[in-house]
Structure 1
Amino acid sequence: MKGPRRIRWSVAALLGVLALGGCGIRSTQVPVDAGPAPSRVPCEVTGENVTPQAQQQGIPVRVYLVCATQLESVDRTAPISAEKAADGRVQIAQALLDQLQKEPSSAENEAGFATFVRAPIVVTGPNEGDPPGTLRLSRLPEDLPSTALAQIVCTFAESRAAATDGSVLLGGPGTYEPTRYRCSAGTKERPDENVPTLGSLPSPSGTG
């Protein structure tokens, strides 16, 4: 009698294994933690989304926004006439600054872009005695978040707002001396770190 009983137990065990497999239960010896899903923001506005901006009146500009913790360039149209933009560095700097203070469009949002430059910030020309090419912001540059300052510096550096050597001379309100900033590859990769400078340029004594 032991033989048939042993066979019945073997058949029951086999049916139990098959039942567990049919229910989708899988045995595992080592738990696997795959971690969070990777970020898949494209950081690129598609051509069809750029078309409406291209139809706007103004001049084409390039500004730096934040995407995936880095600075990435975005092409926009600034509502300023070519004649006014040609008047000087201050006009084009203000047009760029206005673009940086705008919230990203829906297409830019979908692509993962954001801006850390918060309004209101305006730009004016140099004080008397400032080095040529100085731009003065209504807020002290060093008081701005590092990422916001990096956006401004890199945007200005690749435009007519830059000095002749590609650096950006920025000062704040009052008689605070301007500082020469530069946009490096590291600035674009790590905008939350301090923006590189090329030293302060004090105004000549007796001016202000």
Structure 2
Amino acid sequence: MEKEKVSAKSIKEIIDIGQNINIEILNGDYKGIYYSYVYDEDNEGFLILLPTDNLGRVGFVKKGDTISISCISKKNMRVGFDSKILQIIKDNDKTLYKISKPTEFYKYEFRENFRVDVLLNAKFFYYNSNKQLQTKQAWVINLSASGAKISLNEFFELNNTIIVEFTLENKVFNLNAVIVRRLQIDKSTYHYGIRFEEINQKDKDFLIKYCLKKQMEFLRMQRG
């Protein structure tokens, strides 16, 4: 789908020094949404602080990587643009990334896979080889309207169909899902990426609004 372009008389209507920004790392081990701040600029690009998530974990990128950036423009519209990492600069105790200045902007739509970090006690239901329904305790450690990452002390094959149950703001979710990713953390702990299947629109809308609210809360904390 073609992105809806946004016009601006100057870049400073969209992004300027001192502005909070969201950074989406598109590829690699640190793929996901992070937060940063425009520290300075020069003729080539903007200097931004090291991207971190809302738990303070750093999202690393390399020179030449393409990232997607969004921010609130002076017209109170969330605007996005694509940028490249031009340089990585060590400035005393700070690491700064120089990013290319945008040539075009587009209206930024939060996608269903926009994720926020959480820590939710959950139940993990699955059928064993004898077709008996089994239950395991798990933790949901990040969440979006299209899926989640869960932590579990059990090995499961990819593409297994499961049910995950958790409570969010007094609302109980009981969602069918498929395991799409697996990462072994230590001898007994695995992190699984799961994709929700056949989620109804009401539940999806609730999750989208929750993720947006958590992001806004984090941005307010950043501004102090």
Which has the higher Rg, Structure 1 or Structure 2?
1
| Higher RCO (CA 8 Å, separation ≥ 6 residues) | 1
| TM-score, normalised by the number of residues in structure 2 | 0.24
**Higher normalized helix content (fraction of residues):** 1
Looking at secondary structure, tell me which structure has more strand per residue: 2
